[in-house]
Amino acid sequence: MSDMIAFCGLNCSKCPAFLATQEDNDTLRAEFSKMLATNYGLKYKPEEINCDGCHTTGDRILGYCSSCEIRLCGMEKKLGTCAECADQPCDKLNKFHGSSPDAKAAFAELLK
């Protein structure tokens, strides 16, 4: 499986929700559900952990990703990632990267 890179730079292919979905792995779903609750206060039942990645146009995308402003903008502009956007870095991207150093570092690699 090749890597799926989200608009923001994160690697969907390494996300536990994506992996659990692609592998149809209920143990991974349960572990990720618990981690989301413990670390972020997000309440997802294991059976709700289904995601085909940032670029999916289907229904299988984790709740908070489905409403992500960066994702919605990238899809509207038909980009592969925000690194292709003439308007980057925008306020949405900067705000997210301020709270996610991993995404910021991954995005910086896309610009090289």
pLDDT digits (tens, 9 = 90+) for 16-51: 999 999 999 999 999 999 999 998 898 999 999 999
> What is the residue range of 83's domain?
12-110
Residue 6 domain flag = no
The count of structural domains within the chain is 1
- Residue 102 CA to residue 97 CA, distance in Å, equals 8
Residue 4 domain flag = no
Residue written as tokens 């509207």?
76
Residue 3 Rama label (left phi>0; alpha psi -120 to 50; beta): beta
Residue 7 domain flag = no
What pTM did the predictor assign?
0.83
- Residue 6 CA to residue 46 CA, distance in Å, equals 23
Number of residues that this document lists for the chain: 112
Q: Using CA of residue 82, residue 84, residue 90, residue 95, what is the dihedral sign?
A: positive
